[in-house]
Amino acid sequence: MPDSSTGSTGSTARPSRRTVLAATAGVTTALAAGGTVHAATGPHGPDDKSLRALISRMTLEEKVGQLFVMRVYGHSATDPDQADIDANLEEIGVRTAAELLARYRVGGIIYFAWAHNTRAPHQIADLSNGIQKASLGLPRGLPVLISTDQEHGIVARVGQPATLLPGAMAVGAGGSRADAGALGRVAGRELRALGIRQNYSPVADVNVNPANPVIGVRSFGSDPEAVARLVTSEIKGYETSGVASTAKHFPGHGDTVTDSHDDLPYIHHTREQWDELDAPPFRAAVAAGIDSIMTAHIVVPALDGSEDPATLSHPILTGILRDELGYDGVVVTDSLGMEGVRTKYGDDRVAVLALKAGVDQLLNPPSLDVAWNAVLNAVRDGELTEDRLEESILRVLRLKARLGLFKDPYVSHAGVDRTVGTRAHLATADRITERTTTLLVNEGGLLPLSRRRQPRLLVVGADPASPSGTTGPPTGVLADALTGLGFTATALSTGTAPSGATIAKAVAAAQDADAVIVGTYNVSASSSQKTLVEQLLATGKPVVAVAIRNPYDVAHLPGVQAYLASYSWTDVELRAAARVIAGRVNPRGTLPVPVQRADDPAAALYPVGYGLRF
């Protein structure tokens, strides 16, 4: 049978039963008691006694490997493109995913679009099968827990034709627990069909700071209890799909002005404020049986006076998360390549300190060799014990067993075709999103636009780098959607920082339009996007602004006649905004965060729950 990881059109993604049995022989052998009697198993795979027996037969090197979740470049486990081989050699010292597993015995692999892991559904399934086959073929081979960040909205690693759904703040604007659950079910079913069994979602951070550069619309909102309800519902949706969900970023990344990718943020909440603002979604996630919780690379002095980042903090991860909240599931770090966790200690110490703090999975270190050897040496030198490693390995293996990876880790092309991007799933995405678009301004009843009074539309604005949920620049997607609804719409990209010449071009183009749609992206008081809107308003043409990321832009756009918040620039959210503009649906979203006045940030221009109807 051809290697399923090659993606050749003459093979299916799912190996035969004989191949499955042969590949899992290492697990069966390792679980045998005395070489003759197989240990007990539960409905999904081995029970704790069996897993402990398996761990006892692992070498120290294998135990260390099980704690890591690593990136790897390439669309195939054994035959990636040459550029991906070169990237793997440079960053990891191996050529392929199969070599990564053979050398380091990692317990997990994370998929990224930029690593060329997620080109197309059949290819993803083949890659997943190739990874499982390579791992299970090793001595004491174990199934791999494959993960990704599929938050939806502005963070999506698997793109179309998979179903792309609205992001968290859009769901927060809809306010429906049923919709949050449906999102988890649809997203989970599609990920599982692709061989991805752990998703780093939902975001449980409460976005109480409008200036937050890293969370923002990735959060459900600013009300801790509302966020907790939606987090719980999404978790339940993932649970029914058989995919592990991950609440992130503990202990809460919602009130910071620093991006932890670039630096180490400080959050100066008191313990009482943390209990009131940050903790509720995580408490709810634990109560809901969340499979995994991701740490934050943030300093919260009220929770740990050492000022270590939470990822490395024993008082936070063990004292609060484990002991106070009673969580005994898998704790995974945020990426160890982020500067927030690297500013205080070297990359070798980070991996060891994270384990000492209470972490189970070490995600994506910048140098796997450095981190892997640091953990290995820490055990040999007595800083870490094998018992401590085995405690985390047992949690990880329990999760793999619960997800059915010991029973059958493989997927099939037929399963992909039955599940990924189906008409029913796409319709669900559209229905959910129609309930999220939020109308904040509608002077003189400008919206909905009329195909008789305003048949010619100019669509201008920001075209930020596209997440996986887009087919093209937002201006083009929005113009195409409006054209499909009966208007004649022309797109003109003006960017996130339009020059004077670009603004003049847009103003000239507006002369031939009956109305102008402007997509805005994080407008500030000094932004040239504000100048663009002001000069378009000066033409006398009706102007509709659509905030395609944070809803706060309206505070800097006085005089705009109509203003919508879509919370993202993915196709599904832009199509929903177009249907509102055209009057095909009534806007039903309400603000899940307050919008403060530009001249007085202490005062709310629009409060939580505000939203207009036609």
Given the residues 3, 291, 334, 348, the one annotated as active site? 334
Could you give the C-alpha distances from 343 to 248, 307, 349, 412, in angstroms and in order? 21, 12, 11, 43
Instruction: Give the DSSP per-residue string, 459-497.
Output: EEE--PPP-TT-SS-HHHHHHHHHHHTT-EEEEEE--SS
- Taking Cα atoms as reference points, which of 415, 449, 343, 429 lies closest to residue 165? 429
Residue partners of 429: CB distance under 8 A and separation at least 6:
163, 164, 165, 166, 186, 572
Whether the CB-CB separation of 170 and 589 falls below 8 Å is answered with: yes
Active site residue 268: no
Catalytic residue among 44, 47, 261, 408: 261
Q: How far apart are CA 614 and CA 462, in angstroms?
A: 27
Q: For residue 494, what are its two tokens?
A: 């003006």
Q: Which residues of 547-561 are buried (b: 16+ CB within 10 A; e: fewer)?
A: bbbbbbbbbbbeebb
DSSP code at position 222:
S
Q: In angstroms, rounded to a whole number, what is the distance separating the alpha carbons of residues 348 and 307? A: 19
Strand ranges (E), 83-142 = 108-111
Alpha-carbon span 307 to 297, nearest angstrom: 11
Backbone angles phi, psi at 181, to 5 degrees: -65, -40
CA atoms of 293 and 123, how far apart (whole Å): 29
Q: Which of 4, 58, 62, 67 has its CA nearest to residue 31? A: 58
- Residue 116 is among the residues annotated as catalytic for this protein: no
Neighbours of 90 (CB within 10 A): 9
Active site residues: 261, 334
